[in-house]
Amino acid sequence: MSDWMVTRSPLPRRRARALSPLREHLRDTFWFAPTAAMVGVFVVWLVAQELDAALVRSLQDDGDFGTLAELLRFANDAKTVVSAVGSAMMTFIGVVFSISLVAVQMASGQFTPRVVRLFVRSRITKATFAVFLATFVLTLLVLTSYDSTPDPRAATSVPLVQSVLTLLMVALSLLLFVLYVNGTLRLMRIGHVIARIAAESFRAAALMPAPAEDGETAGTGPVTAWVAHEGRAGVLRDVNIARLVRVARGQGVVLRLVPRIGDFLVPGTPVLAVHGGAAPPRRALRYTLSVGVERTFHQDPAFGLRQLSDIGLRALSPAVNDPTTAVQALDRVVQILAALSRRPLDAVVHRDRRGAARLVQSVPGWTELVDLGFAEVRGCAVGAPQVSRRLLAGLDDLLLLAPPERREPLLRHRELLRQAVERGTPAPADRAFALLPDRQGIG
């Protein structure tokens, strides 16, 4: 084996943070950013209003009523602009919302419904909605600050700073709208969607802690207690690792997570096995397991392969018949598996500050990841020589990268693909063409 295969750097690992589940959940919501923006712009408006009032008081104290009268005329002219901005901003918000709905509908039908979360998590989409709503709220607040009296001696407020702030928000809204349209068009292109899925997969794999050493999981001892799931039924999205480690250290036990991230939990089924002591109290385990209606990338390194496999299957369906998209999905499947080919899998161990194992978590093994990435697409590759050729090239590349003990599932998929093509392609020339490895499929 060549030296570059041996010295290939593994995926970087980052320590999981205690607040990362909350951060991930907020990223999966669409209400937080607009709400925070509207609250923030209200605070900024209060500050701007106080600055305008201080400016008026200062000019009145100095007796500079001529300058104050000029500012009042300027404010009346700016009021027309602010009113027009307030009316146009709601139309702008409707346009952006319509574009988002069309983009989500097209992506869901063309790729897979699971890619909709890419639009929900899009920072530029959230920023655009947040700034548009904040600008609209600001215009309403600024309109309430205009003084009806034209007499500079009786004026209490001249919204000068507020009007300038409104114009700056309008400029920011226009800039974000251009970026939003560009970002939305990128997310509607399959290459960028697949690249985002691969990037999220690498990020989830990088957050995985050190793998369990040989015999370490067996050394935890017999199970002394079980903890059942008492919440609602749903998919296990993630676990608060830091909190579970603290609970296990306080109890002097080792906890083992029974389901994997992405498994569907039913109330009453065991979720934690306790080794070496009594089960922790229920109140200590609150908010340690997050259950939702769908899987997320957070702590789930296999979810990316699931989405790529779904995209490949959708592309090879008779209704779509797009083998080039399936080849693009296979490109990323091979990339992810190549990065995990030498990484220890099956189980990871989370330790406390003293280095003692406190939480054992099961993760998909190499064979399961290979089956997830190739099995379903391989079953649809017969009759699509572009896909079979790319699949064979990907398997050959992984056979060069994977250690000897991990080559069996790759050889198995290669042989099953060869048998399927031979059964489904009667012409010898077509069989030879379909079984010729090619990283571009057909090119």
The model's pLDDT over 282-291, given as tens digits with 9 standing for 90+, comes to: 888 888 888 8
**Closest among 243, 246, 348 to 301, alpha carbons compared:** 348
Average pLDDT over residues 242-249: 90
Q: Please, which pLDDT band fits residue 14 given cuts at 50, 70 and 90? A: very low
Percentage of the chain beyond pLDDT 70 is: 90
What pLDDT sits at residue 13? 44
Q: Please, which pLDDT band fits residue 266 given cuts at 50, 70 and 90? A: very high
What pLDDT sits at residue 382? 87
The model's pLDDT over 216-226, given as tens digits with 9 standing for 90+, comes to: 554 567 888 89
The model's pLDDT over 358-388, given as tens digits with 9 standing for 90+, comes to: 898 888 889 999 999 999 999 888 889 999 9
Q: Which range among 77-91, 107-121, 255-269, 312-326 shows the weakest confidence by mean pLDDT?
A: 107-121
The model's pLDDT over 125-155, given as tens digits with 9 standing for 90+, comes to: 888 889 999 999 999 888 887 766 666 676 6
Average pLDDT over residues 81-98: 81
CA separation, residue 279 to residues 65, 275, 358 (Å)? 76, 9, 13
Rounded CA gap, 220 and 224, in Å?
11
Rounded CA gap, 194 and 311, in Å?
9
Rounded CA gap, 259 and 268, in Å?
13
CA separation, residue 69 to residues 49, 66, 145, 153 (Å)? 18, 5, 16, 9
Q: How many Å from the N-terminal Cα to the C-terminal Cα in the chain?
A: 29
The model's pLDDT over 55-75, given as tens digits with 9 standing for 90+, comes to: 877 777 777 777 777 777 777
What pLDDT sits at residue 17? 45
What is the number of other CB atoms lying within 10 angstroms of the CB of residue 18? Answer: 12
